[in-house]
Structure 1
Amino acid sequence: MTALDTPGGARAVARCDALAGAPYSDMEGGLFRAYLTRAHRAAVDRVAVWMEEAGMTARVDPAGNLVGTYAGTDPSAPALVIGSHLDSVRDAGPYDGSLGVMLGIECVAALHAQGRRLPFAIEVYGFGDEEGSRFPAAMLTSRAVAGTLDADLAAIVDGQGVSLAAALERFGGGPDAPGGNIAAYRDALRVPGRTLAYLEAHIEQGPVLEADGLAVGTVTGIAAQLRYALTVRGMAGHAGTTAMRLRRDALAGAAAMVLAAEQMARGDDSDVVATVGMIEALPGAANVIPGEVRFTLDVRSGSEKRRDRVAAAILERFREIAAARALELDAALIHDLASSPSDPALMDLMDEALVLAGQPVRRLVSGAGHDAMNMAALCPTVMLFIRCRHGISHNPAEHVGPADADIALRVMLGFIQRLGESLAA
């Protein structure tokens, strides 16, 4: 039997690998599965089959999320939701998001094989848009489910001029969806009070677990994020005729700012991280001094106060650099995401599940955003991190060992067991 035929963590990993190429990718020679594309539709259809084989009924909701339902013994009881995302960044690794969905399916498959039904239903979500790699907004689909979606859906357009409405219509719906109707998008909302808890398993996307020699760990929460768009304006000029002392070089000023952000975040000696991930120099000619530079600044921390303090200090330093170099600086806040702590009681159950699976208890914060941060508006949430080799993610070199995935599966099943026991107590 191949890994694809063998239930458990190895099958979850093998299924992620199977989804990493055609027809489940929008790019040649790599993985790029954007929201509401043909590759996304193909993945949804394939994963729906796996859900059905595991004993679930599968549907596509009005936002394009894939939802598998494993009924419980009490139809009136709120459901446990297990989820992650099926979309990816460009030139991605195969496990970010998808592994959490596959492990949710494996949890249900294990229960179904034993003929077990819990008092509550289990619903496995394959969210459609966590990465925001197609439209200029991320986590549209989990925000729709949680009821926190405040965007003007009719105004959302991708880089090729395709509207969200048109993309949804082309994508289509499932048996319970209104055929890709943008007017019904928010009907993906789960009825308040009908969700017991949300569990998300995800690769760590960092090196902590590997450095500690651990396969899995309990996530204490998702870090608060601030993101800015910055524009530095100077004076464009000829590279050969403008004396150095007379220059107002926007790129040189921006370079000083980038280094200042790094130095100040490191100097705080805390969990604060600051990243300049995009930079563009204009007019972009080899023989022209840049007159304008645009770049992003991303600042994160487990503490909103610490994040805000360091971000304010960085921006003030940027202003000082701009003034010293006779440059203009504009800073626009793109988004402000609050920290999302995991539920204390659910973290305790996860720690107990770690012990049941023979694993040491380890807690760590998530610096990356996840669908769990939106689902926290709907119900208590908890996450389980899984070791990834060298902490590499958003990269084709992303790797998770089948043995680690199997440990994660055992922990998740233990968590489900302890959750059921806690409700019966």
Structure 2
Amino acid sequence: MDSDTVMSRADELAQFSSTPGALTRTYLSNEHKLAHKTLANWMKEAGLTVWQDSAGNQWGRKVSATPSKPTLIIGSHSDTVVNAGKYDGNLGILLGISALQRLQEVELPFHVDVVAFADEEGTRFDTTLIGSSATAGRFNADWLSITDKQGISMAEAMQSFGLDAERAGLDARQPQDVMAYLEVHIEQGPVLEANNKAVGVVTGIAGAKRYQFRVKGIAGHAGTVPLDMRADAMCGMAHMAVAIEDYAKQNQLVATVGKCELPSGSVNVIPGEVLFTLDIRSQDQEKLEASCEELFVLLNKIAKKRGLRFESHLFYEAEAVPCSESLQELWGTSVELTTKQAPMFLPSGAGHDALAMAHLTDVGMLFVRCEKGISHNPREAVIHEDVAVALDCLTKMITLMAEPNHAII
């Protein structure tokens, strides 16, 4: 198995899409089912035993002759954002399958599972990490009642997919049965490219919080209310967005106002209400918590000064996760043996399935360079030679973990 196979399979997987001429594959959709059927066939070709779990994750196992040892899990996600690129998530699954096919005749002292997690992006139900959370024992039964834009609940979608919603998450793995979790993923950033590195070892994943904000003012006639007598919710929101950006720059955070909605906006009406979101992240969890508190003070001051009411709702949070130091070290050894260069270590600002899996076991990640750091975009691209390096690194990583002097069990 070589990088040609990985690249051609990525092209093939991209055909399973709900949007003609683009790639959109959401959780529990028909396209998702077809993609997993194809992945299962490739897993079988690699000599793996395959199954689907209660949340719709697709698994393949290289069975060991010594099954008493914990299992090494390798994975990433098969779902996409709307109008996605071909490699986010999918590349890590395909590399895992190809690495195990390379090692098909090699006896390992532990089972190795490769998994295509069914939902990491949260595109359909606005709830991220569904697949990996189910595996890690953190599936939330309240998710089953969440509906998509067509009014279909997650429970109903599971039933249509062939799953039993009442059993979702009941087949979670136990910590004592898992050796470690490895994930290979495109960087989704420009750091590796700027340093001319094919791959890099991930040190940790940033913590994140997501808020829905509501700014309430007073709607009024656009032609009759003087500017200095208005309670304009849109102008207040704009002031807040700039304040968020300034704060993030001053405090070495990343913060994004990603959505803005005027529920009853009109060209000749002063906006009386605006909804907007905030996504804020940091590698330092304490700093993230303190920054959110400071930002709330700042945003409330802006609201008070403008005669507005400010409300907030936290709808998502994930704590910062450090990658296992021993796995970082072993990834570094693998990279150095493969590339004959000193490994580069870098953090991840994006979230990954490793966030959920860290509740179950030690996690270790490898990033692959992507062109200009572009991701969540059809222009997402990787270099063929970098994929070959990543495949060699992952294969070497598995064999290193099997050596007695490197065993992480």
Taking structure 2 as the reference length, the TM-score comes to: 0.97
Q: State whether residues 371 and 381 of structure 2, in contact with CA within 8 Å, keep that contact through their aligned partners in structure 1.
A: yes
Give the Cα separation in 1 of the matches to 2:396 and 2:144. 43
Corresponding residue number in structure 2 for 1:408: 390
Match in the other structure for 1:256: 239
Which of 288, 302, 305 aligns to 1:307? It is 288
What are the Cα deviations for residues 277-309 of structure 1, in whole angstroms up to 9, with x where unaligned?
111123121111110011111110100111122
Alpha-carbon distance in 1 for matches of 2:363, 2:94: 19
1:16 and 2:6 equivalent? no
Match of 2:95 among 83, 100, 103: 103
Instruction: State how far apart, in whole Å, the 1-side matches of 2:195 and 2:293 are.
Output: 33
- SS of 1:423's equivalent? coil
2:134 maps to a residue whose letter is A
1:163 maps to which of 153, 169, 179: 153
- Distance in 1 (CA, whole Å) between partners of 2:271 and 2:122 is 30
The Cα of 1:212 is off from its aligned counterpart by 0.9
Taking the aligned partners of 1:380 and 1:309, their CA distance within structure 2 comes to 27
Q: Which amino acid aligns with 1:65?
A: N
State yes or no: 1:140 paired with 2:130.
yes
Structure 2 CA distance for aligned equivalents of residues 154 and 167 of structure 1: 9
Task: Please say which of residues 145-154 and 51-60 is displaced more in the overlay.
Answer: 145-154
Is 1:82 matched with 2:74?
A: yes
Mapped partners of 1:363, 1:134: distance in 2: 33
Does 2:257 correspond to 1:276? yes
- Shift in CA distance, 283/333, structure 1 to aligned 2, threshold 3 Å: same
2:62 corresponds to = 70
* Secondary structure in structure 2 of the residue aligned to 1:45: helix
Distance 1:39 1:388 in 2: 25
> Superposed, which structure 2 residues align to 1:248-397 within 5 Å?
248-268=231-251, 270=252, 272-358=253-339, 359-397=341-379
RMSD: 1.3
Tell me which residue corresponds to 2:225. Answer: 242
1:103-252 to structure 2, matched below 5 A, reads 103-112=95-104, 115-172=105-162, 180-252=163-235
> Would the aligned equivalents of 1:281 and 1:293 in 2 still touch at CA under 8 Å?
yes
Secondary structure in 1 matching 2:19: coil
* Structure 1: runs of 5+ lacking an equivalent: 1-6, 173-179
Could you say if the C-alpha distance between residues 350 and 39 of structure 1 is closer, same or farther in structure 2, counting changes exceeding 3 Å?
same
Greater Cα offset, 143-152 or 36-45:
143-152
Residue type of the alignment partner of 2:386: D
Partner AA of 1:138 in structure 2: T
Does the CA-based 8 Å contact 2:87-2:380 persist in structure 1? yes
Residue 265 to residue 153, structure 1, CA distance change in 2 (3 Å)? closer
Q: For 1:357, what is the secondary structure of its paired residue?
A: helix
| 3-state SS of paired residue (1:202) | strand
Aligned residue identity for 2:357: M
Unaligned runs of 5+ in 2: none
Partner of 2:407: 423
Mapped to 2, the partners of 1:9 and 1:290 lie a distance apart of 54
CA distance in structure 1 between the partners assigned to 2:176 and 2:197 by the alignment: 36
Distance (Å, rounded) in 2 between the aligned partners of 1:235 and 1:423:
65
In structure 2, relative to structure 1, the CA distance for the partners of 1:424 and 1:36 (3 Å cut) is closer
- Paired with 2:146 and 2:264, the residues of 1 have a C-alpha distance of 28
Name the CA distance, whole Å, in 1 between partners of 2:144 and 2:322: 32
1:209-248 per-position Cα deviation (integer Å, ceiling 9, x unaligned): 1111111111111101111111000011111222111111
Instruction: Give the number of equivalent residue pairs.
Output: 406
